[in-house]
A and B are shown apart, each in its own frame.
Chain A
């Protein structure tokens, strides 16, 4: 079981992070001050540290620095309320592996941690399968219950992205960044995503059970409804 340490001074955020990560099957510890976090990273070894930058006691950057001085294995994901490019650069230069700005979607944080943990391992998937859906990532063909489905390039990418995160949530932010490759998400793009999603849904969910679900206020998921 992967061990994760969450250093976050806001108790509500810390608790929801703990619950979200535990639901994904991680072993989670939390610290609410810089001192506590510093003590924990000094005494135990974690696979991932989720680190808030603004902490009472010791700043997140100090903890990051101390951690990197001894150990380069632990993956660090920084959380910050400040979306300044400078902070981002300082954080990543200081040895962080990823950076997220508050407010963030838990779904996205979980996805990023999965990506971090997978990094380094060869992730060579040529074929994706979910329920009666099949995707060939090389020839970019799709089948539904054995029948070929005609998808546009965007729809194919969108479906592949959701199938990679099957059973979990994907947010519009994640889609904008990973499928559309847009750095910033704006209202027009949101609408564009929704239209593509609706079209994809029409093609996939036609005369069959519903696979793509909209989760209000979060995003989308591809899953089989248990009835």
Chain B
């Protein structure tokens, strides 16, 4: 809830800092007071102990049997307080006292055993004065005397309460200064964030080339800017691709439309015989067919982009799938007297969506047949690596320049536009192949050099041994 109430990070940082500071201060004050209290108390005790020896020295035996007080009427401490004392013979009663009106002895518990123990107690006089009392037993020539010494604690209480007052009064002042400092520094630290926000606001779809300033690449805000810039680069790239795609798609769609239109207009211009009309109409229908196929391809890609395709994976043999496709397209190679040489180095089982994966193989094979000259060879190899299954399709065509190699999987990309149009491709085959491989979590690579042909390598992660199948087997045995 507090997060919603306090909106700015700056205020939240300040509040957190102040809370922590206040907690530390309170703790510090408590420790301080406890320490001081302890110190004062031990000093009071020390004073009493010192005087105990003094008092003991003034206790003398008179006439050989009575113990009497031979000292002054009283002692003063350094702080000006008086030493209260009450001396009492254990059997015969009071020897001496300088207490104003009352006997401490009557309130304190009587010593139970005769020993030299010292017991400190607190005691409050009738007039409200608080005393620290030392109770002790002393032996004078075989007779026991109870010595009770008292000392005012009021001074110590005053010191402590004064200190407490000072601390309580200074507490809010310290907090106010801390608040000002903290608020100021939080603002300083967060100021690059404000700059980032202001900059980001100026970036729009049309201005995606803009980048955020990076003040310090080491700190978190610098990292934020760098990350943001990377995101912008990706967005920029995909925006450019989309724009390029739209331009290419509309171009590809317009071309058959233009053909239909011009063929129709020319046919209408002059009266013609039935044969010529049929020729015109046939030509128009061909373009319609082309448009339709292009639309289907575009639709398939759009569906894959929007993640609407849900593949159904089944365990199958890669070699067998490729073999089927080779058998299907073999006639195309035969027409060009090419040799399709298929080799299965190692059989490889994996989980595939057959109908989707076939599109990849079919497009790659068709591509290889298209670019391999008559009478040459095409190698198709299925193998296995540590990662999984590998399918290589190597043609002996002209090869592809490195500058084109990165682009061949782009939509509508054609190395040789004129020639490709003649052979009826849209430049979508490899884009579809790439998608079909990637939906299987695999990747597709092109290794090529001009004049050396191309190798399209499809790497697919190996199917893990399906657990469910093993389980079923185990369960099956179990049921028997």
Contact = CB atoms under 8 A, between A and B. Distances in A.
Interface stretch (A5-13, A33-41, A53-61, A183-191): A183-191
A218 B425 CA distance: 19
Given A187-B424, A191-B366, A217 B293 contact: no
Interface string A210-227: 000001111000000000
B283 A217 contact: yes
A103 B256 CA distance: 15
Contact of A191 (B283, B332, B363): B332
Interface stretch (B284-292, B315-323, B376-384): B284-292
Contacts of A196: 331
A192 B425 contact: no
A215 B363 contact: no
Contacts of B366: 187-188, 191
B445 interface: no
B293 A187 contact: yes
Interface residues of B, number: 29
Interface residues on A, range: 10 to 19
A102 B279 CA distance: 24
A114 B424 CA distance: 33
* Interface residues of B, dominant DSSP: helix
Contact of B362 (A186, A199, A215): A186
B131 interface: no
Given A186-B362, A188-B363, A217 B284 contact: yes
A103 B283 contact: no
A90 interface: no
B301 interface: no
Nearest to B284: A217
A83 B292 CA distance: 12
A188 B334 CA distance: 14
A180 B324 CA distance: 12
A216 B359 contact: no
Contacts of A217: 281-289
B355 interface: yes
A215 B292 CA distance: 17
A218 B282 contact: yes
B119 interface: no
A115 interface: no
Nearest to B300: A184
Interface in B285-315: 285-289, 292-293, 296, 299
Contacts of A192: 328-329, 331-332
A137 interface: no
A103 B331 contact: no
A117 interface: no
B331 A216 contact: no
Interface string B163-191: 00000000000000000000000000000
Interface of B: 279, 281-289, 292-293, 296, 299, 328-329, 331-332, 334-335, 355, 359, 362-363, 365-366, 424-425, 429
Interface of A: 83, 103, 180, 183-189, 191-192, 195-196, 199, 215-218
Task: Identify the 3 closest CB pairs spanning chains A and B, nearest first.
Answer: A217-B285, A216-B282, A188-B366
11 contacts: A103-B288, A184-B296, A187-B429, A188-B362, A191-B366, A192-B328, A192-B331, A216-B279, A216-B283, A217-B289, A218-B285
